A and B are shown apart, each in its own frame.
Chain A
Amino acid sequence: MSPNTTRRALSSVNLAQRIEKGFIYLILLSGGLLILVPLWWMISTSLKRPAEVFTFPPTFLPETLRWQNYVDIFEKAPFGRYFLNTTYVVFMDMIGTLLSASMVGFAFARLRWRGRDAFFVLTLATMMLPGAVTLIPRYLIFKELHWLDTFLPLWVPSFFGYPFFIFLMRQFYATIPYELDDAARIDGCSDFGVWWRINLPLTLPALAACGIFTFNATWNDFLGPLIYLSSQNKLTLALGLMAFRGPHVTDFHYLMAASTIAMLPVVVLFFFAQKYFIQGIVFTGVKG
């Protein structure tokens, strides 16, 4: 091919790529806009005076920025304390879940043991019974253990495994070729070692997904803290947020301010967890 033809061929490929990218941007940004609108309203409400909150139609820009709201909420309730409590519970929960889900998921995915399949169906089945009817019996168990009004019921079960994450990790293990396992075993690796040394490192994106999910779910969980925690200084953020709704009056400006603050850690975590999701971090595989 002559240089000119080549150049023209390449530039038409370039143009196609650019159009494609532009199209992608268009879709993503318009969708993103739909997401931004309610979010923007939430943040702007957090900076409004009480009188301004209730205008109809709703306004997007407060007349004056009332940063005071963000200071006031710490007086209404010990939000600093709630923040610490929630961080502690979430932290323990994440460790527990990552350890247990990866280990148990591996057992379900890659090892052969009697009763495995029946147990797997049982694992799934535990997600199918609505929690409302097991709430009181569970509460009773923790009462017998004298764990009421402590953080224990909130994170200890995570070290034993939650079915959602076990299922998730199991599916991810199933995408890893079995040849690696065999190769390792032939080299004398124990089953446990196959997990720890071979499979686990390959599931980093899945682990990151688990971590983010757990963080988010636990950070916002209110039902568990509601029934297990009673002391003022033990409450979590989600409970603290609910406290702004009274039987008659809801302080929307404070509620939005507190919600914005409560939202930040998860956002930051997600943003920085991105590196586990960047294309290219894939195993180079075993050839043949």
Chain B
Amino acid sequence: MAKEIVAGTTSINAPIGPKRKAKMSLMARREELTGWLMAGPWIIGFLLWTAGPFGAAAYLAFTDYDILSTAQYTGLENFRVMLFQDELFWVAMRVTTVYALVSIPLQIGLGLFLAILLNSRIRGLAWLRTLYYLPTILSGVAVSFLWVWVFSADWGVLNYVLSLVGIQGPSWLTSQDWALSALVIMSLWSVGAGLVIYLAGLQGVPTELYEAAELDGAGRWRKFWSITLPLISPVILFQLIIGIIGALQTFTQGYVMTEGGPNNATLFFLLYLWRNAFKFLNMGYASALAWAIFAYILVLTLIVLRLSESWVFYTGEIKGRR
């Protein structure tokens, strides 16, 4: 099944030329070996320190484990409680999903837009790019302090700016209705994080293509739509999947800024999980929660990967069409 899902996402499903077919068995075997060897470090590493902990986390989901004493097997109890008894599980799922639905498109759209602007031929490019990248570098504590002030109802920058256009801003972080929106806005501040990746992608588009298109009379929008977008679509796919994995595992903002409140308005799933694990010492239940969000993210990612066949363009396919 993995093969079908991943099929559209690599460039090496292109038809093979006649010369290759003849030598296939020997070359294919060598390629197979090289493939394993080159992927080897990752596989070894996986077995060394990922597989074990994953297995442990899987086992713990079926136990009652408070970290300080032995785990007690309890079967499906954790999952039963999680799905049928725990209201906060659904609250956390809802909050996290809403956050992801809003912030991912914004991040990708805005990030790409910004990267294109910062890829144009203007002066002071290095300075501007550094400026937009800075928010990603700042450490959590300092940032959270700043944002409490920015979102302050009476004195904050945001409400001040809104008041200039005649809007009276809400009390953001301390309001049940607006706290999540405040965190979405906050996440936009570090939209420059994806900048590095988009820029790298944009660099990979051969300038000859643009020149050729211009000679054919293509306008800017046409160039963007027919050249830029397709050629950086693998990168956009990357951002989308990473975005899903990241947004559904948002933690720091909820942890530092709002502690999940007010009234669970910002109860991110990972915050809820962390609490169960390290605050309430319900590591068994937390493991069950972990697998729930894992399944959620995995299903979404597989869907995205499958659908990506239709819009992601891999340069390798050029050869096939000629």
Contact = CB atoms under 8 A, between A and B. Distances in A.
A218 interface: no
B138 A35 contact: no
Interface string A102-134: 011011111111101111111111111110111
Interface string A130-173: 10111011100110000000000000010111001011100110
B209 to A, nearest CB: 9
A136 B67 contact: yes
Given A24-B120, A167-B242, A178-B319, A134 B42 contact: no
B204 A137 contact: no
A222 B31 CA distance: 40
B83 interface: no
Contacts of B316: 174, 177-178
Contacts of A91: none
Interface in B51-68: 52-54, 56-57, 60, 67
A219 B207 CA distance: 35
A126 B50 CA distance: 8
A209 B3 contact: no
A209 B231 CA distance: 18
Q: Size class of A's contact patch?
A: 35 or more
Interface string B194-220: 001101111111111000000000000
**Interface residues of chain A: helix, strand, loop or mixed (majority):** helix
Interface stretch (B97-105, B144-152, B165-173, B175-183): B144-152
Contact of A174 (B130, B242, B315): B315
B319 A177 contact: yes
* Interface residues of B, dominant DSSP: helix
Contacts of B139: 220, 238, 241, 259, 262-263
Interface of A: 21, 24-25, 27-28, 31-32, 34-39, 41-42, 56-58, 100, 103-104, 106-114, 116-130, 132-134, 136-138, 141-142, 157, 159-161, 164, 166-168, 171-172, 174-179, 182, 185-186, 190-192, 195, 205-206, 208-209, 212-213, 216, 219-220, 238, 241-242, 245, 252, 255-256, 259, 262-263, 266-267, 270-271, 274, 276-285
Interface of B: 2-3, 5-7, 9-12, 14, 17, 19-20, 27-28, 30-36, 38-39, 41-46, 48-50, 52-54, 56-57, 60, 67, 114, 117-122, 125-143, 145-147, 149-150, 155, 157, 189, 192, 196-197, 199-208, 231-232, 234-235, 237-238, 241-242, 245, 249, 270, 273-274, 277-278, 283, 286-287, 290-291, 293-294, 297-298, 301-302, 314-316, 318-319
